[in-house]
A and B are shown apart, each in its own frame.
Chain A
Amino acid sequence: MVAPDAAAASLAAYRAAAAQDPRFAPHALDALERGPALGEGGMGQVVVAKDRRLGREAALKVIQPDLVDPTVIRRFEREAEVMARLEHPAIPPLYEAGTDARGQRYLLMRKVAGEPLSLVLRRLRAPAGVRAARMPDVLDALARVAEAVAYAHGVGIIHRDLKPQNVMLGRWGEAMVLDWGLARRHDEDAPTQDPGLTREGETIGTPGYMPPEQARGNPVGPPADVFALGAILCEVLTGHLPVEGATAVNRLLATIDGRIARPRDLRRDTPPELDSLAAAALALDPAARPTAAAFAADLRAFLRGEPLAAHHYGRRERLVRSARRRAGALLLALAVTALVGGAAAVTLRARGAQAAAEEGARLAAEARDALQRAMDLLAEADVLVARGAPARDVLGRVDAALAEGRTRFVLWAAAGVCLRTEQADRARDLLVESVDRFPPGLRELGLLHRLASSGLAGADTTVWLERLLAARAAGVRDALTCYAVGVDAGVRGDWRAAERAAGEALELDPRLAWAWELRAGARLHLGDPDGAEADATRALELEPWLPSAWQNRATARLRLGRVEGAVADLDRVIGLAPTRPEAFTSRGNAYVHLNDPTRALQDYDRALNLAPGHPGAWKGRGVALARLERRDEALEAFTRAIEADPDDADAWRNRAVLRDRLGDPAGAREDLDRTLALRPDDAAALELRGVARAVAGDLAGAEADWTRALEIDRSRANCWSNRGHARLLRGDPRAALADCDRAVALAPDSPDARYNRAQARLALEDLPGARADLERFVEVAPTHPKAANARAQLERLRMSR
C-alpha cells in the first residue's frame, strides 16, 4: 500500500507532468453537460455527457478527484492508451482523453445504448423474459465479443477482466466490450517495464471468470481472456458460472484448485457441441485453450449449423447431422432443438413443399419456446434448491412456468422440479395431466419417478419412456414393462405388488439391475432387510453406478447392524450423487451408531449445506451434539428439526429428553405430550412422561403412563421398577413387589430396581429379602444418591436382628 504522504507527492508530480503532456492537455469540460450515472467503480464514475458543441451524447469516465493513489491514475491513463489503439466495431471508440481545470482526468467515449449482458442473462433465466432475449441472439453477441477480443489480442492487448457486466448489448444488435481499465500489452511481463502498475505476480480480474493462472498471481496472456469467454458461454448456457462458490473468495479458491465445471455438469441438456467449446476454453492448461478467433469461429459455425472444431463428432452425431442437412432444416440454431428438429423433419418429409416447411418452422418455434421455458424452470429450480429456498418459492416458479403454457415439456419439467422438492403427489398430478392432454399418454409415471429420484432424469428418460410405450402398444409383456408396473406400484405404496412385479421382471430378464434394485427397495419396506441386501448386491454387481441401490443396501445393512458396511455403501452413494442430503444424513446416522459423533456432525452439516431445511439432518445434528455434551446447540438443532417437520415424533421426544437434562421439566413435559399426540404408542415417551408426572407429584398419571408403556413393551425394566415405586407410595406394597420382581428379573443389577424392591419388601416385612436387595444395591451403586439411605436401612436391619 502507498503511504499517504508519498502518494500525495507522487500525485502532485503526475499533475505537473500532465500539464506538459499533450495527450492530457487541460480541456474545458464545461462544454459537456453531465447527465445520469452509467456506472461506478473503485476508480471513478461513468456518466452520460452531452457535448453541447457537437450535440451528441457520450460516455464520460472521470477519476475520483480525491483519489491520491498514483497506481489508479496510471491505470486510468493506460485505459486511454489502450482504447486509443483499438479500432473495432465491438470496442467503443475513444473520443477524447483529458484533464479538466481541477486536474481531474477524464475519458470521453462513445455511449452505447443498450443493456449489459449480465442483465440479459438474468432475464434469460426468468420464464417471463424468455421471448425478450433469445439464446441465438446472445450467442451471436458472444461471437462478436470473441471477435473483438481476438482483434485486441492481434494488436497485443489483453483485456483481463471480461465478464457479462463489461459486455454491452446495443439496441441494434451490436455488442460492445467495455472497461479496458485493467487491460495491458501481453508482452509486459517484466516488472521493469511498468513499475508499480504491472508488477510480476499481479493478477487482476473477477473470480469466476479468471483462469487458474491469473488466480494464482502468475503472468497471464491471451488465453486468460479465452477462459473468461468460456466462463461467459457457460453462464449463457446454464445460468451458472463454471466455478462454484457463494463468495468471491470461494470462487477464487475453487479456481486455484482447478475445480472448473463444464456446462453439461451443470445442466444436462446443454448442447454437446457448445459444451465442448466451453470446456476447451476453460481448460486448466492455457496452452490447451483455443484462440479467441477460433472460439468466435466455432460459435459462428454452431449458429450456422456447421461442425465445430472444438467438438469431436461420434458416428451417430455425424449421421444425424447429415440427415438434417438433407432435410434442409435450419433448425440447428440451438442444439436444444434436437427433439424439435426430429419432429420438424418428419413433418417436412410428409408434406414437402414450402407450406410444410413453414408448418415445420412454426411447430419448431413453438416447441422450442416450450422447451426453453422448461429449461429455464429447471435452471431456476436448481438455483433455488441449491440455495435451500423454501419449497413454496420453488413451486412458485413452477406455477409461473405453467402459467406460460402447459405444454408437454413444461409439464415434465415442472414434475421434475416437484420431485426434487419432494412434492411427489404434485409431480404425479402434473404427469397425469401430461398423459391426459398429450396422447398416446405416458402411463409409466413410476418409471419417470424412479429415474428422476436416481438422478438419471433427462434425455435417457425419454428413451426409456418411448421404448416402454412401444412395448405396451404392442402388447409385449417384457421385463421392462413388468418393472415399470412394479415401480408404479411402489409409487402408490403397494410394496407387495412392487415386489411381485419386480420378481416377474427378473424371471424374464435376470440381468435387469433396476428390477433387483426395485425389489430391494420393496423388501426394505416389507421389513426384509436380508432379502433387500441380497437384491441390492445383485443390482450393484450388474450396474455399480446405481446410487439408489447403494442407498438401499446401506439402509438394509444399517437395519442388520452392519454399520461399517453401510458406511462404505454410503461413501459410494456420495461419490456417485454428491448432492444428496439424504446420503449425508444416513452416513451421519451410521457414524452415530459407530459412536463417532464428530464425523456424524460433519455429515449432517454437509447435508444442511445442501438442504438447509432438511429435518433428518437437523435431528441427527441434535443427537450428535447431545453426544458431544453441546446441549444448547443440540437443543437448537432439535428445535430446527421440529420447525422443519412438526410431525416428527422422534424430534419432539429427543428435545424432551434434552430439556429435562437442561432443567426444564415443564418444557420436557410439553414436548412429550406432542410426541404422544403424534405417536400414542411410543413406549419410551410414555415412560419419560411418567417420570415427569411423578416428579410433579402426579403419581396416578405417572402410573397410567407406565402401565400403558408396559402394555406396549413388557421388557422395559425401568418402567416396571418405576411403577412399583409409585404403587408403593400409593399404599399397595404387594403390587409394588410384583412390579419390582419383574424389573429385577429383567435387569438384576439395576440399582433402582433393587432399591425399590427392598422398599417394597420392607413394607411387607420381608426383612431378609430387603437386606439382600439393599446389600446388592450398595454393591453395584456405592455412589448412588440413595446409597446413604440404603446403608442406614441396612444398619437398622442388622441392629434389629
Chain B
Amino acid sequence: MPGRTLVTLAIDDLVRELERLPEEGFVEAARDVVHGRVLAPRSLEPYQFFSTRHYTRNLIFKNDLFELLALCWEPGQQSSVHNHRGQQCWMMMGLGRLENLNFRVHDRDEVARTCRLEPTSVIEITRDQAMSVDPDEPVHLIRNVEAWGERALSVHLYSRPFDTCEVYCPERGIYMDVQLSYWSTHGRPCAPGR
C-alpha cells in the first residue's frame, strides 16, 4: 500500500508486545500491534515444520488471553472450511503468501447441524498486509495456491485461545466440531494428537 510504513519485528518481540497488553481492551490493542508490522522470517525458523500430508499447526506462545501459532503450508495445501468460534483472529505472513476464501452460511439448522455455504470473496494475504477474519462472515478456507509453487508460513493470533472449531462439509451440507492439535509446541515436534 503506497505511503504506508511497515515495521519489521522478530516473533519473540511480537510475543513480548502482546504479553504486555492489558486484558481490558486487548482485542483493539492487539489489532494495533499486528497491523503495519512485518515479521522477520529468520525469527520464525524454529517453528518451520512442513509436512507433505497436511499443513502443520505449530504453537509459538499461549496464555489465557491469546494464542500465537505458525502454520506451515506446502504448495497446494489447504485448510478445511472452518470458523473460529467467535474469537478474533489475525493473520500475518512470515513466508510466501496465501489465499483466503470467505463463505456465508445459509439455512443453518442448529439441531440437525446442517447448513449451506456460499463463497463470498477471495483475498490474497501477503507479507505486507496482515488480515483479520471478518467477524460478520467468519467461515473461511485458507490455501497455498499450488501454481505459486512456493512454501508459505503464516502466523495466526487468536484471542482468546480455542482448541476446537467448527468444520463445514459443503459436499454433505453439514458441520461438526473438530478437536485441534499441534504439530509442534515451542519449536519441538510433539506426539500426534497433542
For chain B, give the interface size range.
Answer: 20 to 34
Do the beta carbons of B106 and A71 come within 8 Å of each other? Answer: yes
With a cutoff of 8 Å between Cβ atoms, the chain A residues found around residue B53 in the complex are 605
Report A4 CB to chain B, min CB distance, Å: 9
Report A749 CB to chain B, min CB distance, Å: 35
Do the beta carbons of B122 and A216 come within 8 Å of each other? Answer: yes
Interface presence of B108 (CB below 8 A): yes
Q: Which of B109-160 contact A (CB under 8 A)?
A: 114-116, 118-122, 141, 143, 145, 147
Given A248-B171, A256-B101, residue A202 in contact with residue B106 (CB < 8 A): no
Interface presence of A257 (CB below 8 A): yes
Q: Which residue on chain A has the smallest CB distance to residue B80?
A: A249
Do the beta carbons of A247 and B118 come within 8 Å of each other? Answer: no
Interface presence of A769 (CB below 8 A): no
Report A696 CB to chain B, min CB distance, Å: 33
Bound together, the chains give a CA A216 to CA B124 distance in angstroms of 12
Bound together, the chains give a CA A207 to CA B78 distance in angstroms of 17
Interface presence of A363 (CB below 8 A): no
Given A247-B170, A256-B101, residue A201 in contact with residue B121 (CB < 8 A): yes
Q: Which residue on chain B has the smallest CB distance to residue A4?
A: B110
With a cutoff of 8 Å between Cβ atoms, the chain A residues found around residue B143 in the complex are 253
Q: Which residue on chain A has the smallest CB distance to residue B106?
A: A42
Bound together, the chains give a CA A215 to CA B99 distance in angstroms of 14
With a cutoff of 8 Å between Cβ atoms, the chain A residues found around residue B147 in the complex are 257
Bound together, the chains give a CA A235 to CA B141 distance in angstroms of 28
Which of B104, B105, B114, B170 has a CB less than 8 Å from the CB of A248?
Answer: B170
Do the beta carbons of B108 and A252 come within 8 Å of each other? Answer: no
With a cutoff of 8 Å between Cβ atoms, the chain A residues found around residue B141 in the complex are 249
Interface presence of B15 (CB below 8 A): no
Interface presence of B22 (CB below 8 A): no
Given A69-B106, A72-B107, A257-B147, residue A217 in contact with residue B119 (CB < 8 A): yes
With a cutoff of 8 Å between Cβ atoms, the chain B residues found around residue A43 in the complex are 107
Residues of chain A at interface, number, CB under 8 A: 26
Bound together, the chains give a CA A72 to CA B102 distance in angstroms of 20
Q: Which residue on chain B has the smallest CB distance to residue A69?
A: B107
Q: Which residue on chain A has the smallest CB distance to residue B110?
A: A4
Of A43, A67, A203, A217, chain B has the most CB atoms within 10 Å of the CB of A217
Which of A202, A253, A601 has a CB less than 8 Å from the CB of B118?
Answer: A202
Report B76 CB to chain A, min CB distance, Å: 9
With a cutoff of 8 Å between Cβ atoms, the chain A residues found around residue B101 in the complex are 252-253, 256
Q: Which of A194-211 contact B (CB under 8 A)?
A: 201-204, 207
With a cutoff of 8 Å between Cβ atoms, the chain A residues found around residue B170 in the complex are 207, 247-249
Bound together, the chains give a CA A202 to CA B105 distance in angstroms of 11
Given A1-B105, A42-B106, residue A253 in contact with residue B78 (CB < 8 A): yes
The contact string, 1 if C-beta is below 8 Å from chain B, for chain A 239-252, is 00000000111001
The contact string, 1 if C-beta is below 8 Å from chain B, for chain A 219-250, is 00000000000000000000000000001110
With a cutoff of 8 Å between Cβ atoms, the chain A residues found around residue B104 in the complex are 202
Bound together, the chains give a CA A215 to CA B119 distance in angstroms of 6
Report A637 CB to chain B, min CB distance, Å: 13
With a cutoff of 8 Å between Cβ atoms, the chain A residues found around residue B120 in the complex are 201-203, 217
Q: Which of A679-703 contact B (CB under 8 A)?
A: none
Do the beta carbons of B81 and A217 come within 8 Å of each other? Answer: no
Q: Which residue on chain B has the smallest CB distance to residue A599?
A: B52
Q: Which of A21-65 contact B (CB under 8 A)?
A: 42-43
With a cutoff of 8 Å between Cβ atoms, the chain B residues found around residue A605 in the complex are 52-53
A-B contact pairs, 21 of them (CB 8 A): A42-B106, A42-B114, A42-B116, A201-B120, A201-B121, A202-B118, A202-B120, A203-B119, A216-B119, A216-B121, A216-B122, A217-B102, A217-B121, A217-B122, A247-B170, A247-B171, A248-B171, A249-B141, A249-B170, A253-B78, A253-B143
Residues of chain B touching chain A, judged by Cβ–Cβ distance below 8 Å, are: 52-53, 74, 78, 80-81, 101-102, 104-108, 114-116, 118-122, 141, 143, 145, 147, 170-171, 173
Residues of chain A touching chain B, judged by Cβ–Cβ distance below 8 Å, are: 1, 42-43, 67, 69, 71-72, 201-204, 207, 215-217, 247-249, 252-253, 256-257, 598, 601-602, 605
Given A215-B122, A253-B101, 15 other A-B contacts at CB below 8 A? A1-B105, A42-B106, A42-B116, A42-B173, A72-B106, A201-B121, A207-B170, A215-B119, A217-B120, A217-B121, A247-B170, A247-B171, A248-B170, A253-B143, A257-B145
